[in-house]
Chains A and B, each alone.
Chain A
Amino acid sequence: MRILDKQFCLLAILCIAITFCNAQPTNFGEFTTEEKLLKHVDFDKEADAVILFDMAIASYNDDYNLLLQRRTRIKILKEKGVSLANVEIPFYSKDKFESIYNLKAIVYTEDGNKSMVIKELQRSDIFTTKLNDYVSLVKFALPNVKPGSIIEYNYESHSKHFGGLDNWYFQKEIPVLFSSFFLAVPPRQEFAYNVHKSQDIPIDINNDKREGTVKFSMKNIAGLRDEPFMDAPKDYLQHVDFQFSGYVNSFGSKVNYVTKWSEVSRELMGESHFGKLINKSISGTEELVSRFKAISNQTERIKAIHEYVTQKFTWNGIRSKYATDGLKDCWEKRSGHSGEINLLFINLLKSSGLDVYPLLISERKHGKVTLEYPILDEFSNTFAYVQADGNTFIMDGTDHLTPTNLTPESILNTNAFLVDNKKGSLMKIANETAGNFTTVNIFSTISDKGVLNGEASILNTNYARLERGADYRRDKELFKNAYLQKNIVELKVDSLVLSNLENDSLPLQQDFRFTLPVQSSGDYKLVNVNLFTGLEKNPFISDNRFTDINFGNRQQVTVVGQYVIPANFKLEEVPKNVQMIMPDKSITMARTASLSENVVLYQFSLKINRPVFTAEEYPGVKEFYKKMYTFLDEPLVLTNK
């Protein structure tokens, strides 16, 4: 979101004349004077384009197929917005589940002489391409589009059943003036919906129980754009999602889909593509399982199985929580969807006599789950949850980076559901102890010619070590560039030794020597003390922020540096001791420096004590970082004696 935070948003919306939204949208290709004259949107002033309306009607036919009619009208405001005239409509093409038809599109453009030109899309300019085994795209480029053009397209989609009903997003990357979704629920079906919206934006819901229809509409929604350390956009986009909860069968009795958390476990454990796969032994694994069983220490056994699965199996990049095609193929080909690999992993843990449960998860980047009642579509994956030796292990069979004892970082601060007939429950995934910790120790001498020579040792603990370890294994030279030399071309790093690469429980230690010519300025020498910290660039410089900052876990960077000053120089001034603490102590920073004879002892520490900061807290975080970077950028200033 670029020009407004939530409070502004509310004000802006109150002020806006709702000219566009109250009137029923005009017919296809009939554009109103207001639309033609529209130059910018007050509540999102710098938008590239604006969606004038985006509407869909979902209904059914005699075979209870899902029929969808979609109509979208967009006004292009800037040159960059012209790319929106290259339209892509994704649809679920596997086994011909969904098809798109009756596509029509039209463009209104005023040419130089203020005369209007209306052009329609021709059939021969519509293409269908296959994106992967599941999804295809209908693609077309609309003709004659320039800033000021209005484009409109509508189409119908036919899906085999209501399982194809997607969430409806009122909000987009560009602002939306009006968005509505009308749903006719097939008779005898019961369904639940869940509206995700910010308090500032009203939603209109018209639920006609007698007719079995419901209509949702929203107006004047500013665009949402990507921000650093942001959760899933879905968590912030205004949207409604649907879950069918049951139906009345032809004998008049009610068959429920899952509507309560307590029912989820029973339902899933009985499914042939989920629970039943866990308890059934997979042919060909017997020898392996007996080998695992021979490991008497349970923690060691878990580790062995975890290592086996993450190393031998390759994830094909597709996320799933079930194994619709069973596990045989996955076992034989040693590859599969995340659901297949993880259910196989759970199966192996279980057969090896461990106390294991499937855990439905949704990564931070995938989005938050609704807690009030189950919407299984909100979960993206199934992890393994094991209790052994008084500890809990949460593991992903497709993640070869995270050690067995560490909960995968992608799900920290999320809610997950433990699937078990007795113990089944929602749980909050947090890791209070393990954070992302980095310590940098520097012992260095400045030569009388002005070159900084030293030894450094970097210690990365827990989450901080994961990516570094993996990158080092991949390519040592790239590792040196990416983590140590960064873009400082004159910094030379050599004699790099890594310790504890294979021992996850100890910090990953990187010892090396370095030299760096000290920057001269007239009679001064300026010694850069912000080396190897990973804090080279302030990520929070934007003026506005709409989404929460989610660091994932607690962060800590500590620097202890010793700088020996040559005899021909003296320190201009000892850097001041400073400390900054957020009012709630959520972030603290301290810098101390002292001079004893010719040795400067410099210490810096940054602690981020909680992982999540709300968008409302952003100005405070931004100010903190701004000040912190002025301290980080401050060198030791030496002058000639």
Chain B
Amino acid sequence: MRKTNCLSLILAFFLSVAAFAQPVVNLSKLSAASIPYSLRQNAIAVYRLDEGNVEVISPSRYIFKVHQVATVLNNKGDDLFDVVLMFDKLQKVDKVEINVFDSTGNKIASYTSKDFSTKNYDDRMSVFTDDKLLYLEIAPPAYPCTIEKLYTVSTTGYLSLPRWTVATPKIPVELSHFTVSVPAAIDIRHKEYGFKLQPVVTRAGDKIVYQWTAENIMPPTEAEDEGYDQVNNLQVIAVSPNQFVYDGFAGQMKTWKDLGNWNFALYNDEKGFLPQQVTEFKSMVASGKTDREKIALLYKHLKKSMRYVSVQLGIGGFKPFAIQYVHEKQYGDCKALTNYMRYMLRAVDIKAYPALVSAGSSKAPFDTSFPASYFNHVILCVPLAQDTIWLECTSNNNQPGELGSFTENRNALLLTENGGLLVRTPNSNPASNIFSTHTVITINEDGGGKVQSNIACTGDFSSFMSEIEQENSDDKKRIFSSYLKYKSPDTFLLTNKEDQDDKKSFGLQLSYDQLFAFKAGSKMFFDQRINKIVTTDLKPGERKQPYLFRFPYEKTDTTIYILPASMKVESLPAKKEISTPYLAYSSECFQNEVENKLVVITRVTVKQKVVAASAYAGVADSFSQLNKNEGQKIVLRNE
């Protein structure tokens, strides 16, 4: 899907935006002295004026004028001096003017478009996109200082209208003014988030004018770490077209059905597969007895033959590459690969539908009551008589039906011949993300030892391990110790084992000169296993926003210690169990005196991805108990 990673940038662009054409700013606004104390307290900058004016001319054309005056109070507000405007084939920057004032309001520098540089926007993912940036980095003079930005952007095609961010964290706003004028015949829809503010609606000839004005707005609190993206936390006016024309493709957006109709048409491939290619796919699935098996065979073929390559040009940001192009190149982006898979299934008479999603493991849910173009990714949905199979077509690792934390637990817009339909992707399930280890540790008299371990994993763990598999030995060792929290070994060997069912399997051989954590007198203190079973720590205390685990999971470990005859058990960790709606944990250590062996069996289940803010303190507390128990040592003594 187009512009996945542009999102943050586009946001930055519209955050920093405001409007013009209004009366010249009151000169006192240019002096830092006139900011009320109540606003500047704890602020990094203050918007003195933040004005945006959208003039919708037709379903393909609007003009967006911005006039913004911001006083920057300290160096944390320096980002306001980086002016970045995006443009492409359909969106031009017509005019830009920047003025910089010192603390008393004297103009000390001004810039126009000729002072700006341009470059291609790099989303760090695509081989090419046609998005370009006009940018200027200005050196802020002594603080406080004021920057005034005036610019005009116009389009010859659009899918969305400027989203007006009224306030962002740490930057209060003295006056925010947003206007949208639109021909009554096409009108727009609007919705306010993060605060209650209704527009004044007036009629001017055949146009409707919406005006929002807000004064002395205190900024929203900052997003907490490990929660949903910032986007959820802003004060925003969303405006969405009812009709639009993007790169010559006209559509409606009043309902999800409308938007789905427009998108569905883009996924229609005139030529599709050639008859002989269809025959090939048919013979490829000949051994499949059920639709499920046929899907698995074709999905396997897709994973084996295709690679992810992103190129986004004009409507190509929304319309997949042609099937024959993908077939020839054997690469594509999410749209292209999803549609390719869809046409392969069609060749064997299985119906499938593309489903647009707003992907990302910490992406906040979008507002289903306000149809707009929220999407940055597409997956494939194959409804079968019994259940539905979801396919992530850009993956080279996933099992059929396995989506992963990137696209689970959210609404998706299913594109069908009857238009768009909102559906839910599957909820993350701890049982689909398994990491299970079985480890035998042979300890020698000096407290060093050899370790033989088997690892089996599924889901997100399996994707992670597939990446590690590609690394060289030293990097594998580093990742095991820094990410999977293994005690850093002296020798390290990770080997692939044949996958069992849908589990990825590895063998791990390690050796340590010193396996114990530390020694006190004749006593050696050993950790319960060579790796930390839980690698996340939850900060104790309350939260205001939900906490997100990357994904729910089940981890199980069995560690067997084989002790030398001279070593006796001094003390063992006590049995421990925790069971809450979010976390299940059990750990028990058994001693086999006859064979001089110890067995530690541990299980952890993180049951849910999202922890409600009100439940967080309790969950953090159970993690703290878990970690305390994990810190219990096995104490051995040499005799």
Contact = CB atoms under 8 A, between A and B. Distances in A.
Nearest to B572: A522
Contacts of A312: 139, 141-142
B120 A131 contact: yes
B117 interface: yes
Nearest to A135: B119
Nearest to A637: B520
B628 A520 contact: yes
A115 to B, nearest CB: 14
B76 interface: yes
A572 B520 contact: yes
B470 A80 contact: yes
Contacts of A489: 537-540, 624
A132 B538 CA distance: 42
B504 to A, nearest CB: 14
A541 B631 contact: no
Interface in A531-564: 537-538, 541-544
A143 B328 contact: yes
B633 A521 contact: yes
Interface string B565-581: 00000011110000000
Contacts of B520: 572-573, 637
For B75, B139, B473, B571, the residue with the greatest tally of chain A CB atoms inside 10 Å of its CB is B139
A520 B576 CA distance: 14
B590 interface: no
A457 B574 CA distance: 37
B331 interface: yes
B488 A2 contact: no
B474 A542 contact: yes
B127 A335 contact: no
A633 B521 contact: no
Interface residues of B, number: 61
B309 interface: yes
B571 A543 contact: no
A127 B128 contact: yes
Given A335-B139, A521-B635, A46 B473 contact: yes
B138 A335 contact: yes
B22 interface: no
Contacts of B7: none
Given A130-B119, A334-B139, A140 B478 contact: no
B140 A314 contact: yes
B329 A144 contact: yes
B140 A542 contact: no
B377 interface: no
Contact of A2 (B75, B473, B574): B473
A523 B477 contact: no
B311 interface: yes
Contact of A129 (B128, B492, B521, B631): B128
B386 interface: no
B396 interface: yes
Contacts of A346: none
Contacts of B409: none
Nearest to A133: B117
A85 to B, nearest CB: 8
A635 interface: yes
A139 interface: yes
B109 interface: yes
A522 B571 contact: yes
B517 interface: yes
Interface in B457-492: 470-475, 477-478, 481-482, 488, 490, 492
A68 interface: no
Nearest to A223: B472
A148 B230 CA distance: 43
A82 B307 contact: yes
B139 A313 contact: yes
Contacts of A119: 328-329
B346 to A, nearest CB: 23
Given A86-B127, A487-B537, A521-B525, A543 B331 contact: no
- Which are the 4 A-B pairs with shortest beta-carbon distances? A314-B139, A129-B120, A143-B329, A80-B470
B573 A521 contact: yes
A449 to B, nearest CB: 14
Contacts of B517: 633
For B120, B514, B574, B628, the residue with the greatest tally of chain A CB atoms inside 10 Å of its CB is B120
A429 interface: no
A175 to B, nearest CB: 12
B477 A524 contact: no
A630 interface: yes
Interface string A494-523: 000000000000000000000001011111
B139 A132 contact: no
B488 A141 contact: no
A541 B307 contact: no
B5 interface: no
For B128, B477, B492, the residue with the greatest tally of chain A CB atoms inside 10 Å of its CB is B128
13 contacts: A2-B473, A2-B475, A86-B309, A130-B119, A130-B132, A131-B119, A312-B139, A334-B109, A334-B139, A490-B540, A490-B624, A519-B631, A523-B571
Given A522-B572, A537-B482, 7 more contacts: A80-B471, A82-B307, A130-B118, A146-B307, A332-B109, A521-B573, A572-B521
B514 A521 contact: no
Contacts of A286: none
Contact of A634 (B128, B329, B518): B518
A127 B329 contact: no
B629 to A, nearest CB: 10
B518 A633 contact: yes
B521 A79 contact: no
B521 A526 contact: no
A167 B107 CA distance: 46
Interface in B519-559: 519-521, 523, 525, 537-540
Contacts of A521: 525, 571, 573, 631-633, 635
Contacts of B633: 521-522, 524, 526
A141 B311 contact: yes
Interface string A287-314: 0000000000000000000000001111
A641 interface: no
B330 interface: yes
Contacts of A311: 142
A537 B488 CA distance: 10
B331 A522 contact: no
Given A46-B473, A131-B119, A524 B635 contact: yes
Interface in A111-159: 119, 125, 127, 129-133, 139-141, 143-146
Contacts of B499: none
A280 interface: no
A474 interface: yes
Contacts of B628: 517, 519-520
A332 B138 CA distance: 12
A332 to B, nearest CB: 8
A80 B396 CA distance: 11
B445 interface: no
A3 interface: yes
